[in-house]
Structure 1
Amino acid sequence: MSDTTHGDAATAAASPVTSPDDGLSPAALAEKYGLSVSGARPGLAEYVRQLWGRRHFIRAYASARVTAQYTNARLGQLWQVMTPLLNAAVYFLIFGVLLGSKRGIENYVAYLIIGIFIFTFTQSSVLAGVKAISGNLGLIRALHFPRASLPVAFTLMQLQQLLISMAVMLVIVLLTGEVPTWSWLLVVPALLLQSVFNVGLALGMARLGSKMTDLTQLMPFILRTWLYASGVFYSIRAVLEKHDLPWIVHLLLELNPAAVYIDLVRFALIDSFGRNELPPHVWAVAVGWALVAGIGGFLFFWKAEESYGRG
């Protein structure tokens, strides 16, 4: 072999091998080969599509949680009904009998029962939402799915419990002397709007609860204050007429979303609860709260999608 051949081979071995990818940034390389960041937040439209695709999982998960919730209790699923009924009995004794809150309210038993059951729906959804992410880290880290599935499933679980409890609630309302009318159908849109509101609230609280672990300890105090401000066992309208409150307090009491949804169900089921008991533009307020909480809560939760279960 000639010296020239040896020289060419040595030169080829010494020269660096070039690649068409040389000089490309990591982002450009990822785009070229169709790579994406693992666990990155999808676009809003894609996220909604993924969430809709998990609808069967959401429904099955909610049903399974409802079934398993009271498996260790002797009375089992009866506690779904007994818990709000026992609360109603306590509030009736304290506020209705001892403090006289029932004065001026016709059919106070139905008034109180409806308030307890409807507020409990929102209260339970909020508490479940706070722990939806922090209490399910094992599931989140093991499986890939839209994290919003969990707060939505927990709210659906509370709705299922409410529907079971409402059968008893309606029986009590009938026993107090109320007669079914076409207005009872208004319960359906009222509960649908409240459900959308609760889902948005649960989504927002899920994101906060995933970062603020102490929020679980704080929420009972916040919810108790909200309960007392929602007219569950007294008439907000009577309080506003009796006391000269600052306009901001007046406005907050009338726009209180929990009170709005409670009043809509009372208006539907109690004949003596007339339009004069409702705040102005009550249906517009109910729709507004559902849209603000539903859309706002969903966007707030989606913004942090890639952070859930990490750290």
Structure 2
Amino acid sequence: MTTGEAKPDVASLVPAPIERVFEDAAVQDAVRRNELEPIGVRPRLIPYVKDLWARRSFIHVLAVAKAHSENQGTYLGQLWTLISPIINASVYVLIFGFLLQIGREGIENTIAFIVVGVFMFRFFERSVMAGAHSLNHNMNLVRSVKFPRAVLPVAGVLAELTILGPALVVMILISYLSGFLPFAGAVTIDAYWLLLPAAILLMWIFSTGCAFMVARWVAMTPDLDNLLPHFMRILMYASGVIFSIDRYLSQFSWGWIMEYQPVAVYLYLVRSSILDEPAYIPDPTMWVLGVVWALVFSVAGFLVFWSGEERYGRD
């Protein structure tokens, strides 16, 4: 090599594939050391569950913010969370309780029966709709921040549970006071009322599982969001919200299906805790069904939602 010739670049003497191997190895080492995860890949189930649990404070903040923002732009504000179910229950009591007299056979206190059904079904319905909107209404958050997307449906249902708290007080008060009316059966305070928190807990777990499912389905097919209100209306009539399933559907061969379907089971559990109706004495079989439905739907719903985790915000 003469003095005037430039020295060759050492890197240029190394074949390109070998260079790429060294670069890939360095990148993989950095990924391992910093516990980074690839984008667009479904996370493993156990780490996903742990990450979700670690975000419980985030879930609480989202739930409280959603509950407080409800009806924020109205004059009565949070009072609408109590006024709306009272109006709905009053309409159903007037039409089905007094005009159609659906409770004249088998139900002693029609007012308490319908009020409990309307308040509790409204919680379930709003929880499902919160799950359906949890991704689509928070797409900016989904696309800009890395977190387990299961946070959103969980926070949505938790917000509805927060709103249900004051509504439960109103529901119980109306049910109890209705017992003093001369044409209604008495509603007495007894030990069965202690079962009410357990019934609410099971219904909340079940509703969260349903919210997981509809969140995934609506994210895949947004048109389902328009069908959900119609489905919920059908489910309301099929769950004995305003009439007794045992009285009106037991004559059909498929009536037992309606009696043991999940929503009807949870309405039964809440009613059996509060009302003094002969047809609503606490039944161990219904409590077992309540636990089973809650476990099945919560686990299945979570797995359904987790299976589409890598697609949320990307489709």
Shift of 1:78: 1.0
Q: 1:155 to 1:25 in 2, by over 3 A?
A: farther
Shift of 1:40: 3.0
Shift of 1:29: 7.5
Instruction: Give aligned-pair identity as a percent.
Output: 39
Q: Does 1:302 align with 2:310?
A: no
Aligned twin of 1:102: 103
Aligned twin of 1:89: 90
Aligned twin of 1:255: 260
Aligned twin of 1:222: 231
Shift of 1:297: 0.5
User: Which runs of 5 or more residues in structure 2 are unaligned?
Assistant: 180-186
Q: Tell me, yes or no, if the aligned pair for 2:150 and 2:306 is still in contact at 8 Å.
A: yes
Q: 1:20 to 1:26 in 2, by over 3 A?
A: closer
Q: Tell me, yes or no, if the aligned pair for 1:190 and 1:265 is still in contact at 8 Å.
A: yes
Q: 2:162 aligns with which of 160, 163, 174?
A: 160
Aligned twin of 1:181: 190
Q: Tell me, yes or no, if the aligned pair for 1:237 and 1:277 is still in contact at 8 Å.
A: no
Shift of 1:16: 3.2
Aligned residues: 303
Between the aligned partners of 2:167 and 2:112, the Cα distance in structure 1 is 14
Q: Tell me, yes or no, if the aligned pair for 1:266 and 1:273 is still in contact at 8 Å.
A: no
Q: 1:89 to 1:137 in 2, by over 3 A?
A: same
Q: TM-score, normalised by structure 2?
A: 0.88
Aligned twin of 1:136: 138
Q: 1:21 to 1:289 in 2, by over 3 A?
A: farther
Q: Tell me, yes or no, if the aligned pair for 1:88 and 1:112 is still in contact at 8 Å.
A: yes
Aligned twin of 1:71: 72
Instruction: Give the AA of the match of 2:207.
Output: N
Q: Tell me, yes or no, if the aligned pair for 1:187 and 1:265 is still in contact at 8 Å.
A: yes
Aligned twin of 1:16: 13
Q: Which shows bigger deviation, 250-259 or 146-155? A: 250-259
RMSD: 2.6
Between the aligned partners of 1:226 and 1:124, the Cα distance in structure 2 is 13
Aligned twin of 1:271: 276
Q: Does 1:209 align with 2:218?
A: yes
